[in-house]
Amino acid sequence: LAAAATAAAQAPVKPGVLRLATTTSTDDSGLLRAILPAFEKLCACRVDVIAVGTGQALEIGRRGDADVVLTHAYQSELKFIAEHHARERFDVMYNDFVVVGPAADPAKIASRRSAREAFAAIAAAKAPFASRGDNSGTETAEMAIWASADLKPAGAWYRSLGQGMGETLIVANEQRAYTLSDRGTWLAMRDKLPNLRLLLGGRSIAENPDFALRNRYGVMAVDPRVHPGVNAEAARKFVEWLVSPETQRVIAAFGMTRFGQPLFYPDSDRWKASQVPAR
Amino acid sequence: MTTAPACYRLESVQHRYGGRVVLDIGSLEIRRGETLAVIGPSGSGKSTLLRLLQFLERPTAGRLWFDERLVDSEPALDVRRRVTTVFQRPFVLNRSVRANLAFGLHVRGWSNRPAEIDHLLTALGLAPLAHAPAQSLSGGEIQRVALARALAFDPDVLLLDEPTANLDPRNVRLVEDLIRERQAQGVTVVLATHQIFQARRLAHRAALLLDGQVIEVGPTAEMLDHASDPRTRAFLSGDMVY
Amino acid sequence: MTTAPACYRLESVQHRYGGRVVLDIGSLEIRRGETLAVIGPSGSGKSTLLRLLQFLERPTAGRLWFDERLVDSEPALDVRRRVTTVFQRPFVLNRSVRANLAFGLHVRGWSNRPAEIDHLLTALGLAPLAHAPAQSLSGGEIQRVALARALAFDPDVLLLDEPTANLDPRNVRLVEDLIRERQAQGVTVVLATHQIFQARRLAHRAALLLDGQVIEVGPTAEMLDHASDPRTRAFLSGDMVY
Amino acid sequence: MSQLLTEFRRPELLQIVALTLRVTGAALLLATVAGVPIGALLGLVRFRGQRLVTLVLYTGMGLPPVVVGLFVYLSLSSSGPLGVLGWLFTPTAMIVAQAIIAFPLVAGLTMSAVAGVDRAVRQQVFALGASRWQSAWTVLLEARVGVTAAIVAAFGGIISEVGAVMLVGGNIEGQTRVLTTAIVLYTRQGEFALAMALGVVLIAVAFGANVLLLRLQGRLRDQ
Amino acid sequence: MSQLLTEFRRPELLQIVALTLRVTGAALLLATVAGVPIGALLGLVRFRGQRLVTLVLYTGMGLPPVVVGLFVYLSLSSSGPLGVLGWLFTPTAMIVAQAIIAFPLVAGLTMSAVAGVDRAVRQQVFALGASRWQSAWTVLLEARVGVTAAIVAAFGGIISEVGAVMLVGGNIEGQTRVLTTAIVLYTRQGEFALAMALGVVLIAVAFGANVLLLRLQGRLRDQ
Ligand SMILES: Nc1ncnc2c1ncn2[C@@H]1O[C@H](COP(=O)(O)OP(=O)(O)OP(=O)(O)O)[C@@H](O)[C@H]1O
Ligand SMILES: Nc1ncnc2c1ncn2[C@@H]1O[C@H](COP(=O)(O)OP(=O)(O)OP(=O)(O)O)[C@@H](O)[C@H]1O
Ligand SMILES: [Mg+2]
Ligand SMILES: [Mg+2]
């Protein structure tokens, strides 16, 4: 009976609408706006994009308020599956993080080959560092780097902001601080950040010397057995479409015209499989 | 001595404001259709008595009957609509004079009775001001608007608190004529006034309040000319001069 | 005929409210130290005249002199502080009676003169109410507070608008006694009243206003007993009755 | 600048403005319909615990929109008690959240405006035979300047609010994007000029709405 | 729940509450010192263009915090006109932004409260010899219920505001993090329970502040 009541309390499935909870980076970069119309035509449905913090996106999925989530926080995503909110996670794409900082580069990190070394130099110089501080995928990556250098950043030079990537870059620009940014947001905003330079990460992902700076995006369809209110059919179609080689090719091309390099690199298994014969 | 059924009956009515007793009436009856003048010096409790009779406040002690029914909580709307007051310091609404006059009719949902309103406007010399904003009127004009507004819906009981304090002789006469018209129709009137002459002209009976107590009550002429209480005589003697 | 220097002089003063002329005075002089009664029916412009004399409004046309100086904009603070009004409908501040009396002194930064205030409270029978919130007082009590408040700071010019309209004979006497005290001290008084008898008791001269125009002005007794204008006689005759 | 112009010619802008007005208008209507009578009542009657109710209303003026948004979100979430309604991420949810935010402002400020009307006016109205509701309405008309200000303040509070509508609406393009969420979006993207331009549009919309509200207030006088 | 308790024992919480009170308190003080006299003046005098000024103030009540924040940010930014002050991302910048948001509320609602005081009261005060300022002060005391409500509304508006302080303060941990920005942070992380708990703290703080404000209002009566 209690189960019936729970089921009854679920929101009715809204046919024709797919709710996609995702992080701000995918939306703010313009990627979704570029690729989604094709899917909307394909499935004859409307995609509602809810772009929020990574944690919030997963929480929305946990409550059954989205049909599919697209995030970049690998460990949290695994936990999401362990809690049975989704059955599977699929790799979608990746890009990378870069370390940016003031043009004067007081910690002299431009010559470093890895983020670990660069962070150690920043900490040693006690040069201002702006951290997202919001438990996002970016911050998780940042924390992993500090840990790899055996450092626990603290002190007046380390500023934990609790804001999104754009805002953090803005603060770093004003305060002439270092920060870790995803390449896409950096490229999109660098015109407005006159005080900052890209100091570690190379001009494109191919030139990024540090593999630890990879940023992986995964997609998960919310499990209808746990959340009967979700539009499972559309979610399944969406995941399938997103990892399909055709879509992956569009992702690979996105950003070329504006930045001269892609913002995201296709990473789905099907894409990789489709690339093998070509090599 | 009761010649007509009682409109109001008060028994051991006391009224306090924060500890201070401002009204303390052993027993008082106001008969249907009569006009009772309540006289007495400033602060003696005249307006307070009228507030109790209008059901604006409940006496802190004692009992009050209206129309033979005990008033222990706010009376039903149709009961309290039979009584109205022209306050000593009348307030007009931020509307035209005419709209102020129509207010009492309006809340009763009565069709607007324009003829009645015109009649009152003319009788009180307010016709030229019908469309003026009521709050811009002179003191005496406001007092007349307040009276007209009260008369417009034919109340059974009319409580008048110094209704001519701000009026010149000619306007006093207009007002008193209108009151007499209502008296003839059987309306019960309670008139609080400090003008003995007005009490004499209008009231069947008069009651003298001193410090909240009814010192003497009786037929007006009798009481004013042959007061039995020395305090009444003392109060009245001042009036010969001022 | 000018026996004393003029306190106020009005020349061709007109005052309009939205097109309607409510005051139209060819010429009028109020002498220093005299008491002028302004009588006239309700709506004739008495209060409006007082508002002009208090500098609350500027006449829409014509010229007004105060103390031989033309008043064409708001007078300096020390000039206008010489004049005060007891309004027909006095407002007391949401404070104690005592604090209301002290207000005029307070704004002038005068040390609080408690003796003066005590004197006024006693003289007007307000002493027991000194600490009561002024807004809870009865109509007549508020009128007395307003008078005491005006007298507390010794104004040179006292504009009184129906100052005893809400008072009983004994209190009228208290108020008039206080006014006489000030007259003796040379204070100029303008008294708007509809009570001819009060004008007779207090004023050196009287002026009759009708529809905003000064119909007749002259020494009080002379004018009231031997009015030259028929309209004055008509107005006064009503007063014999009401 | 030319970018601004292009932005302004976008048909979406019109749609965003329309949705903003629809959501805020509906929320304001709800808050007014509930808040003005309740505020009037609280300003008119005396009762035990009045001080506490006043404090609660006043505190309600400081309800953080984000917290209200969170509360509404958790209620409307498909695992929440009102999930069946299916209102989450729709304009309806935004209306609910904004109405909650606006209510204490409307009720609290109406209360203080009505309490400012002289007690004698209320007694006068009572003595002329007005029922409770008629009295309340009459006193409201007398206090119309203050009541209008209450509604204006509530309107200003919610049309400029972003925390709640963002959470419960989801800022979905073409569906639940209003002016404030669009402004936040542009700000986040570093498009400050566009954000400012949309801010100007929002202010212009608010100005227009206030012109209408003051007209309405003027009308009431002639009742 | 135990997580909440741990959260609440954190010394940072105390610091966040203290900063919240300091920023909002200072901004409210500024807005009151400027807004009450100006509102009183506007409510007291009649002049040409009054209607327009009223409209502007009323519209100001709807200034989106994000836009105000953006404006302050652009002014204080190192490439902005006031960059030399070095106020950006400090509590000072947050105070400035909140004061701007609070001002129209304080001034506009004070204006309507003062305008609600009977004209006859003002004439009475004038006739007793009060100077312009003394008149204004006296009328303000008569309108204290409405003026308090104005201040309360402004306080509620800014203590719950997040858009502006986030932008100009930067939500820096230990430096410029206040209750609302912390709430947003937890919300973005999906930590809804913590966010709600902080919301309760904020509401409790607002309640306490309102108790004090109403006390103050009571005091004024005995002046
Ligand atoms: N609400 C109140 N709170 C406290 N005291 C009050 C209140 N209303 C009246 N009083 C006091 O009660 C007494 C009687 O007041 P009331 O108004 O009945 O007098 P009144 O006979 O009408 O006087 P007046 O002729 O001056 O109008 C006065 O001393 C007054 O101060
Ligand atoms: N602010 C105003 N706006 C419009 N008309 C006004 C205004 N003030 C007064 N009046 C009108 O001007 C005329 C004169 O008013 P005033 O108050 O001077 O009369 P009054 O002689 O004092 O009368 P009363 O004896 O009734 O007090 C009245 O008819 C009144 O309606
Ligand atoms: Mg009385
Ligand atoms: Mg008058």
pLDDT for residue C118: 93
Do D86 and A50 lie within an 8 Å CB cutoff?
no
Whether the Cβ atoms of residue C158 and residue C182 lie closer than 8 Å to each other? yes
Rounded mean pLDDT of E160-166?
A: 91
The amino acid sitting at A103 is A
Beta pairing, strands C61-66 & C69-70:
antiparallel
Cα separation, E187 vs E193, in Å, equals: 9
Count of structural domains, chain D: 1
Do E129 and C99 lie within an 8 Å CB cutoff?
no
Report yes or no: E167 at the A interface, CB cutoff 8 Å: yes
- Helix, strand, coil share of chain D (percent; to 5): 80, 0, 20
Ligand with smallest separation from the Cα of C210: 2
Per DSSP, the three-state class of B207 is strand
pLDDT for residue E5: 59
pLDDT for residue A2: 36
- Our answer on whether the CB atom of C137 is closer than 6 Å to any ligand 1 atom is yes
The chains in contact with chain C, meaning 3 or more Cβ pairs closer than 8 Å, are: B, E
Q: What is the pLDDT of residues B89-124, one digit of tens each?
A: 999 999 999 999 999 999 998 876 788 899 999 999
Do A53 and E171 lie within an 8 Å CB cutoff?
no
pLDDT for residue C237: 75
List the Cα angle C87/C90/C95 in 5-degree steps.
140
Q: What is the pLDDT of residues E90-142, one digit of tens each?
A: 999 999 999 999 999 999 999 999 988 888 899 999 999 999 889 989 999 99
CA of B160 to the centre of ligand 2 (A): 23
**Does A touch C (3+ CB pairs < 8 Å)?**
no
CA of B105 to the centre of ligand 3 (A): 27
pLDDT higher than 90, residue B213: yes
Burial class (CB in 10 A: 0-12, 13-18, 19+), B230: exposed
Do A59 and E185 lie within an 8 Å CB cutoff?
no
% pLDDT > 70, chain B: 96
Rounded mean pLDDT of B204-208?
A: 95
- Our answer on whether the CB atom of C64 is closer than 6 Å to any ligand 2 atom is no
Q: What is the pLDDT of residues E19-76, one digit of tens each?
A: 999 999 999 999 999 999 999 989 888 888 888 999 999 999 989 998 899 899 989 9
Cα separation, C25 vs C40, in Å, equals: 14
Structure tokens at B194: 């400090």
Q: What is the pLDDT of residues C90-121, one digit of tens each?
A: 999 999 999 999 999 999 988 767 888 999 99
Do E170 and A133 lie within an 8 Å CB cutoff?
no
Whether the Cβ atoms of residue C126 and residue C142 lie closer than 8 Å to each other? no
The chains in contact with chain A, meaning 3 or more Cβ pairs closer than 8 Å, are: D, E
Ramachandran category for residue D190: left, alpha or beta (phi over 0 → left; psi -120 to 50 → alpha): left
Q: What is the pLDDT of residues C141-188, one digit of tens each?
A: 999 999 999 999 999 999 999 999 989 888 999 999 999 999 999 999
Residue nearest to atom 1 of ligand 1 (CA): C136
Cα separation, B153 vs B117, in Å, equals: 10
Best-predicted range by mean pLDDT (A48-52, C3-7, C55-59, C71-75): C55-59
Rounded mean pLDDT of C116-130?
A: 93
Residue nearest to atom 11 of ligand 2 (CA): B137
Rounded mean pLDDT of D69-76?
A: 93
Q: What is the mean pLDDT of chain E?
A: 89
Fold classification of B6-237 is: Rossmann fold (3.40.50)
Residue nearest to atom 8 of ligand 1 (CA): C136
Cα separation, A132 vs A130, in Å, equals: 7
Q: Which of C51, C94, C104 sits opposite E128 (nearest CB)?
A: C104
State the count of interchain CB pairs (< 8 A) between A and E. Answer: 65
Q: What is the pLDDT of residues A214-267, one digit of tens each?
A: 999 999 999 999 999 899 999 999 999 999 999 999 999 998 888 888 889 999
Do C84 and E120 lie within an 8 Å CB cutoff?
no
Do A28 and D189 lie within an 8 Å CB cutoff?
yes
For D144, nearest residue in chain B (alpha carbons):
B94
- Our answer on whether the CB atom of C189 is closer than 6 Å to any ligand 1 atom is no
Please state the pTM of the whole predicted model: 0.88
pLDDT for residue E48: 87
Residue nearest to atom 22 of ligand 2 (CA): C47
Residue nearest to atom 27 of ligand 1 (CA): C139
Higher pLDDT, B94 or A12: B94
Q: CA end-to-end span of chain B, whole Å?
A: 34
Cα separation, B38 vs E149, in Å, equals: 43
Ligand with smallest separation from the Cα of B168: 2
% pLDDT > 90, chain A: 63
Report yes or no: E103 at the D interface, CB cutoff 8 Å: no
Instruction: Among B21, B42, B47, B164, say which to mutate for ligand 1: greatest number of ligand atoms within 8 Å of CB.
Output: B47
- Mutation target for C interface from E118, E122, E124: give the one with most C CBs within 10 A: E124
CA neighbours within 13 Å on the CB side: how many for A257?
6
Cα separation, A154 vs A156, in Å, equals: 7
Rounded mean pLDDT of C119-127?
A: 93
In sequence order, what are the residues at sequence separation of 6 or more whose Cβ sits closer than 8 angstroms to the Cβ of residue A105?
A: A197, A199
Residue nearest to atom 1 of ligand 2 (CA): B136
Choose among E169, E151, E124: nearest CA to E209.
Answer: E151
Structure tokens at A279: 């090599």
Rg of chain D over Cα atoms, rounded to whole angstroms, equals 20
For D133, nearest residue in chain B (alpha carbons):
B107
> How would residue D9 be classed by pLDDT, with cut points 50, 70 and 90?
low
Beta pairing, strands B61-66 & B6-17:
antiparallel
Would you list the DSSP string of D26-42? HHHHHHHHHHHHHHHHH
Do D171 and A50 lie within an 8 Å CB cutoff?
yes
Rounded mean pLDDT of C128-150?
A: 95
Do C176 and B43 lie within an 8 Å CB cutoff?
no
Q: What is the pLDDT of residues C21-50, one digit of tens each?
A: 999 999 999 999 999 999 999 999 999 999
Higher pLDDT, A128 or C113: A128
Rounded mean pLDDT of D141-160?
A: 93
Q: Which of A8, A51, A64 sits opposite D84 (nearest CB)?
A: A8
Higher pLDDT, A129 or C3: A129
Entry field: residues in chain E: 223
> Containing domain of residue D105, as a range?
2-222
Cα separation, A11 vs D87, in Å, equals: 9
- Mutation target for B interface from D124, D140, D142, D222: give the one with most B CBs within 10 A: D124
Ligand with smallest separation from the Cα of C42: 2
Q: What is the pLDDT of residues D76-130, one digit of tens each?
A: 988 888 888 888 899 999 999 999 999 999 999 999 999 888 888 999 999 999 9
Do D59 and E195 lie within an 8 Å CB cutoff?
no
Rounded mean pLDDT of A271-279?
A: 75
> How would residue B1 be classed by pLDDT, with cut points 50, 70 and 90?
very low
Q: Determine how many CB atoms are found less than 10 A away from the CB of residue C53.
A: 22
pLDDT for residue B241: 52
| CATH of residue E88 | 1.10.3720.10
Cα separation, E188 vs C95, in Å, equals: 53
Instruction: Among C137, C166, C171, say which to mutate for ligand 1: greatest number of ligand atoms within 8 Å of CB.
Output: C137
- What residues of chain B lie within 8 A of the CB of C194, using their CB? 140, 166-169
Do D134 and B80 lie within an 8 Å CB cutoff?
no
Burial class (CB in 10 A: 0-12, 13-18, 19+), A250: middle
pLDDT for residue E172: 87
- What residues of chain E lie within 8 A of the CB of D54, using their CB? 214
User: How distant is the alpha carbon of residue C43 from its chain centre?
Assistant: 16
List the Cα angle E178/E180/E183 in 5-degree steps.
110
Residue nearest to atom 17 of ligand 1 (CA): C138
Rounded mean pLDDT of A111-135?
A: 93
Report yes or no: D197 at the E interface, CB cutoff 8 Å: no
Do D170 and A50 lie within an 8 Å CB cutoff?
yes
pLDDT higher than 50, residue B78: yes
Q: What is the pLDDT of residues B33-42, one digit of tens each?
A: 999 999 999 9
- Mutation target for D interface from E46, E59, E114, E188: give the one with most D CBs within 10 A: E59
CA of A181 to the centre of ligand 4 (A): 78
- Mutation target for B interface from C42, C92, C126: give the one with most B CBs within 10 A: C42
- Our answer on whether the CB atom of B140 is closer than 6 Å to any ligand 2 atom is yes
pLDDT for residue E191: 86
User: Residue E164: enclosing H or E segment and its boundaries?
Assistant: helix E163-169
Gap from E112 CA to chain D (nearest CA, Å): 6
Cα separation, C208 vs C210, in Å, equals: 7
pLDDT for residue B9: 96
- Our answer on whether the CB atom of C48 is closer than 6 Å to any ligand 2 atom is yes
pLDDT for residue B105: 92
Gap from D1 CA to chain E (nearest CA, Å): 17
User: How distant is the alpha carbon of residue D138 from its chain centre?
Assistant: 23
For A52, nearest residue in chain D (alpha carbons):
D170
Ligand with smallest separation from the Cα of B23: 1
Ranges A61-70, A223-232, E10-19: which has the least confidence: E10-19
Entry field: residues in chain C: 242
Whether the Cβ atoms of residue D132 and residue D195 lie closer than 8 Å to each other? no
CA of C46 to the centre of ligand 2 (A): 8
